A and B are shown apart, each in its own frame.
Chain A
Amino acid sequence: AQSVTQPDIHITVSEGASLELRCNYSYGATPYLFWYVQSPGQGLQLLLKYFSGDTLVQGIKGFEAEFKRSQSSFNLRKPSVHWSDAAEYFCAVGSRSGQNFVFGPGTRLSVLP
């Protein structure tokens, strides 16, 4: 069965510090992997996606993620966090058909001034 785990429910970092949010997945076929961000009271916005090619993908707002097939991981990183990055982050796995989406439980990010 497909599944996505995000081991950290809540992370707090200081503004300017680096960030890494962890994501592990279980998927039978070639995974299509996504990171979404959700600000309070809003819908989800796509940060980045991976489905083939270079395993290091760049996204919006200065985020990047690295696909590691051997570890079944797709961790999200940012070198320097801004206060506006405080939000909830969801990792997800899907397929090309766009029908079989599985979301992780989310990681809430707090940023200290």
Chain B
Amino acid sequence: DVKVTQSSRYLVKRTGEKVFLECVQDMDHENMFWYRQDPGLGLRLIYFSYDVKMKEKGDIPEGYSVSREKKERFSLILESASTNQTSMYLCASSSGQDTGELFFGEGSRLTVL
């Protein structure tokens, strides 16, 4: 089975702190994604990557950056966390050669105080 693992399920940070959210997939997928999920707003795409060292902005990239140094790992970085970044963050991956299905991690619930 495909496994997408997000390193932290729950995080509490303070305003201004740097936050790293890590995501690892074990199926050699080309594509990896970071979404943010908020009540009433659904899933919003922050960034995605279709290859190592490649990244593309999604719908709401402001305040975020990403890193993909290895194919299996895609990190989301909040350089200076703010309270409006309190949210559920979901990582996903997909193969570019199959049925286009997204595989999701369990999510990381971030609270910024």
- Residues of chain B lying within 8 A (CB to CB) of residue A96: 96, 98-100
Whole-angstrom distance between the alpha carbons of A43 and B105 in the complex?
6
Is the beta-carbon distance between A99 and B48 smaller than 8 angstroms?
Answer: yes
Size band of the interface chain A makes with B: 20 to 34
User: A18-26, A67-75, A103-111: which lies at the B interface?
Assistant: A103-111
Whole-angstrom distance between the alpha carbons of A32 and B98 in the complex?
11
Is the beta-carbon distance between A97 and B100 smaller than 8 angstroms?
Answer: yes
Is the beta-carbon distance between B107 and A98 smaller than 8 angstroms?
Answer: no
Size band of the interface chain B makes with A: 20 to 34
Is the beta-carbon distance between B100 and A51 smaller than 8 angstroms?
Answer: yes
Q: Please, what's the 1-or-0 string for A13-39, where 1 marks a CB less than 8 Å from any CB in chain B? A: 000000000000000000010101000
Is the beta-carbon distance between B107 and A32 smaller than 8 angstroms?
Answer: no
Q: Tell me which residues from 61 to 105 in chain A have a Cβ below 8 Å from any Cβ of chain B.
A: 90, 92, 94-99, 101, 103-105
Q: Is A2 an interface residue (CB 8 A)?
A: no
Interface residues of B (CB under 8 A from A): 4, 29-31, 33, 42-43, 45, 48, 50, 90, 92, 94-96, 98-107, 109
Other A-B pairs beyond A94-B100, A98-B29, A104-B42, 4, CB < 8 Å: A42-B106, A44-B92, A44-B102, A96-B99
The 21 sampled A-B contact pairs (Cβ below 8 Å) are A32-B100, A36-B104, A43-B90, A43-B104, A43-B105, A44-B92, A46-B101, A46-B103, A94-B100, A94-B101, A95-B100, A96-B98, A97-B31, A98-B94, A98-B95, A98-B100, A99-B50, A101-B33, A101-B94, A101-B100, A103-B43
